[in-house]
Amino acid sequence: MGLRPVLLRRRMAGITSTSLALVLGVASVGLLPAAATTASPTTGSATAADVHADEVCEDGSDALARARGGEAKHDPNELTMAQLQQRESEFADLLQERAKRVGQRTLSAQAAAASVTIPVVVHVIQRDSTRAGGNIPDSMINSQISVLNQAFSGATGGASTAFAFQLQSINRVTNSAWYPIRQGTTAERQMKTQLRQGTKATLNIYLGALSNDLLGWATFPQTTLNVMDGVVVLSESLPGGTATNYNQGDTGTHEVGHWLNLYHTFQGGCSGQGDQVADTPAEASFASGCPTGRDTCPAPGLDPITNFMDYSYDSCMYQFTPGQATRMINAWNTYRA
């Protein structure tokens, strides 16, 4: 579908293009080298043993990761059927318990009227004080918060959700042991253990160079607060960054969608319940670029390439659906409120 007029106005207003950093895999699954897609700072040379984006974290929580470009033989961010069923069974039980307590009508009314402002704490992980060493300016972070607010309000052309985001603080940390940030490692756990702030309702965003050409990853909500909870995003994917095709802030949008309990639009392919949202058409696999008219499943509807939860370029993405908005507020009230 290309660039929507509303989105174009947003970018002309000075917010540079943001493409989401979807997980396509680790170094061993055929990713394009960073040089082919971006001029971002060095992201390290971790081996596949350093990052296992398809594994469940050592604490038992699921983690999603995304990478730039390339065709993956296996998408490590797509949950297995067993993982999906376990998460959805728990979610359904919790929703049912809450409906019994307050009544289904009250539950629906609360969801429809919900307005949630999420406090955001941003941790900038740096190797040194240079831009190449991760020291991005505050202006990029402020622009990222603006991108989140526009995306989740529906200002870019999608459904309005219940969520707004308010930056609480920027925490800058110079630590070469945490730079680049490596998903699933002891160093990541140490970093988050020392830095994470707030409650389950506080969004902690960790910015820096990432290993294995990844753009970002996120944790799903859980019933109890886990120190790993939060979102990790390549700093150069923020508005004004150097991650070509992924530098308008929608990597952050995508990862926050996961943090609020959304799956990829291509979860489950053409069969089953897919991403558990009825108004996102089934999609056999992730989209790359902006393939207008793509239709990979026999079920009605073209592939949702403009949805923030696909893998399209930032310039292609502009929307959440009403069904996704409902799922997010139900998950918020269940896990994070």
Q: Which residues are catalytic?
A: 255
**CA–CA separation, 250 vs 317, rounded Å?**
8
Residue 336 is given by DSSP the state: I
Q: Which whole-number Å values give the CA distances from 198 to 119, 192, 230, 279, in the listed order?
A: 9, 12, 11, 34
**CA–CA separation, 115 vs 167, rounded Å?**
17
- Closest C-alpha among 79, 82, 80, 65 to residue 25: 65
Residue 246 is given by DSSP the state: S
Other C-beta atoms closer than 10 Å to the C-beta of 209 total 23
Please enumerate in sequence order all residues whose Cβ is within 8 A of that of 21, keeping only pairs 6 or more positions apart, or say none.
Answer: 66, 67, 68, 214, 215, 216, 233, 234, 237, 243, 246, 251, 254, 255
**CA–CA separation, 321 vs 166, rounded Å?**
23
